[in-house]
Amino acid sequence: MRIKVHKATVLNLLLTQEDTDHDNKITIDDQGPRKFKLIATTGREHIVEGTYYLANLLQEIALEKPDDKGEIYIYLNNVYKKPSDRISKMISTHYWNKLTRRLDNNGLEKIIKDEKTIVSEQRLYIPFADIEAQKYYNKICENRKDISIVILPEKITPEYVLSINDKPGILALSFDNKKNEAAPFVVPGGRFNEMYGWDSYFINVGLLLDSKKDLAKGMIDNFNYQITHYGKILNANRSYFLTRTQPPFYTSMILEYYEKYQDETPIAWLKDCVKIAIQEYETVWMQPEQRLANNGLNRFYAEGIGIPPETEQGHFDYILQEYAMNSNLSVHQYGKKYLNRETINLELDEYFLHDRSVRESGHDTTYRLEGICANITSVDLNSLLFKYEKDLAYCIKKYFKNEFLYNKRKYNSEYWDNKAQERVVKMNSYLWDEKKGSYFDYDIKNKKQIDFDSATSLYPLWAKLCSKEQAEKLVESLLPVIKCSYGISGSSKFSLRNVPKDAPKRQWDYPYGWAPHQMLIWKGLLNYGYDDLAQELIYRWLWMITKNAVDFNGVIPEKYDVDKGSYKIDVEYGNVGSDFKYVPDGGFGWMNASYQLGLSFLSEKLRNELDKLIEPDDIFNRKTK
């Protein structure tokens, strides 16, 4: 059923009556009558009642483009969709498109500006060896005075990156010369308006579920470009990220894509991707004294000099204060001298090595990593690299007859299987605690495990690296202390026991829950046969997303408080994706993906209860910790 209305008239009437706090949304915080008379151009009337349906109506009005008379059709079946159906459809048909970018003539404007840095001149940095990209971007920007084209040096060093800190810009990505178009990519959302490293894997999970083939391939092609031209998959494609990589999910991306679209994808494409994966593994992760630690395991190790330029002004004042006072300088004066290397401070250099490495880990920030990140071989990173090794073994055996030539060297599946097994032995030696029945990060400097319960210690379930006995112990010992009413929190509350009460909260710790943790843990539990537990955790997470969307105009933000089940949180950096008008502006990339993945796993019975918004504890009747 559809109703034709005058868009501006109905929109104004609806907001005037229902949006009593004037934020261009209809939520449970508004004090309107929750009953609106929708009047068609023919005079026909239809009553819409309830916050959820009124918010849906607002979204439908906002999304429809009016004709020459300013009129639109409202399709009532969209207004009255069940919550899970509507959220999923909005993600599939609207949000992915809103978050899609291309670095071409039409799309450059959307991405090149960066609200995280304030500069008058916009810059596009192009790799030294990409001559075709240089020609293309010089041509499309030749008449634009607001964008400067900068060619990167052949060798990119930390010193060079420091020298352009005050000249930030976007980094070029993959461009198809034959089609004369840039490869598409999906940004996380909000102020994160560039292609981010590990976000992209989880986003791709959602894209594949929604059969967004070209978008999913574009993400991988852009990663191929980054490894080829920048030497690594970047934290994100901004100039200040040139010395930082991200958690490694590349092999998972290529295999999941290829195995879905194998019949439509040349084997040569997979071959190129495998070569690039081996290149990344060897040149990014296996370099001694950098990301390969002295215990044979791996660590995050982000090179760079001085203060990370993307942080807001004053972010590190509490760190610089003591040094500034000892030098009889203001914090600003000392920071400027340190940044310009007029003052050498090795203690600060080490602090910022750890700070950059935390950002490289994707977990910025958490008390698990603060001040020690570059000194620890972590459970999450080594689980991911085990998965790389097993993926390469699987791929070479299945698709390349167990022989693969890279850089004049032959690889077979046994080579990579042995690498993976060697890693398991080392992880069991350094990271596994048999008594506690859990994995812990290992401090190579102080030669001890870090006593901190983290969701990342469940990554071995996803990677399939632990034994059934270890999996059982993990589920019994770790899961209960990080499981909350509405999902898995970044850490246990107990792990924060020594953090001063007046210390700032860290967004990757308790009680905050993030999509990547949920997605990996669900799959990990399913890998080891914990189907009922996975269903419960999926339901708790989806209930929270659905309930917040129903009550708050469809909001899908970056993260949640999984103890309270709320997106309204007061923690560092705020909550990206929660600030919008009328319709969520694309939601948030990996949160969208977690919703689609969760629905793909959820039983029909639980999905019906989800649409009724039955509280998780009323279903599972289990006290959470």
Residue 176 within any structural domain of the chain: no
φ/ψ region of 553 (left if φ > 0, alpha if ψ in -120 to 50, else beta) reads: left
Among candidate residues 364, 380, 389, 391, the one labeled active-site is 364
Is 380 considered catalytic here? Answer: no
Is 364 considered catalytic here? Answer: yes
Residue 615 within any structural domain of the chain: yes
Residue 381 within any structural domain of the chain: no
283 half-sphere exposure, CB direction, 13 A CA radius: 14
Percent helix, percent strand, percent coil in the chain, to nearest 5: 50, 10, 40
Residue 52 within any structural domain of the chain: yes
Distance, in Å, from the CA atom of 596 to the CA atom of 578, rounded to the nearest integer, reads 19
Q: Where are the alpha helices (DSSP H) in 144-196?
A: 158-163
Last residue in a domain, options 27, 54, 80: 80
Among candidate residues 360, 389, 509, 558, the one labeled active-site is 558
State residue 324 phi and psi, 5-degree precision.
-65, -45
Tokens (6 digits) for 271: 């071959």
Last residue in a domain, options 343, 376, 409: 376
611 and 491 housed in the same domain: yes
DSSP symbols for 91-153: IIIIIHHHHEE--STTTHHHHH--TTS--SSEEEEE-TT-HHHHHHHHHHHTT-SSEEEEEPP
* Residue 180 burial (10 A CB sphere; 0-12, 13-18, 19+): exposed
Residue 390 within any structural domain of the chain: no
How many structural domains compose the chain? 3
Residue 328 within any structural domain of the chain: yes
pLDDT at 10: 98
Residue 586 within any structural domain of the chain: yes
b/e code 35-56 from CB counts within 10 Å (16+ = b) = ebebbbeeeeebebeebbbbbb
pLDDT at 312: 77
The model's pTM is 0.97
483 and 616 housed in the same domain: yes
Q: Are 377 and 432 in contact (CB under 8 A)?
A: no
331 half-sphere exposure, CB direction, 13 A CA radius: 11
Last residue in a domain, options 54, 80, 106: 80
497 and 612 housed in the same domain: yes
Residue 343 within any structural domain of the chain: yes
Distance, in Å, from the CA atom of 358 to the CA atom of 311, rounded to the nearest integer, reads 13
Q: CB-based contacts of 466: which residues, under 8 Å, 6+ apart? A: 439, 460, 474
SS3 162: helix
pLDDT at 624: 45
Mean pLDDT per 10-residue interval, the chain, length 625 residues: 96 98 98 96 96 98 98 98 98 98 89 77 94 92 90 96 93 89 95 96 98 98 98 97 97 98 98 98 97 98 91 85 95 91 93 97 96 98 99 98 97 98 98 98 98 98 98 98 98 97 93 98 98 98 98 98 97 92 97 98 98 97 52
Domain span holding position 361: 317-376
Distance, in Å, from the CA atom of 158 to the CA atom of 180, rounded to the nearest integer, reads 33
Pairing of the two strands 170-171 and 122-126: parallel
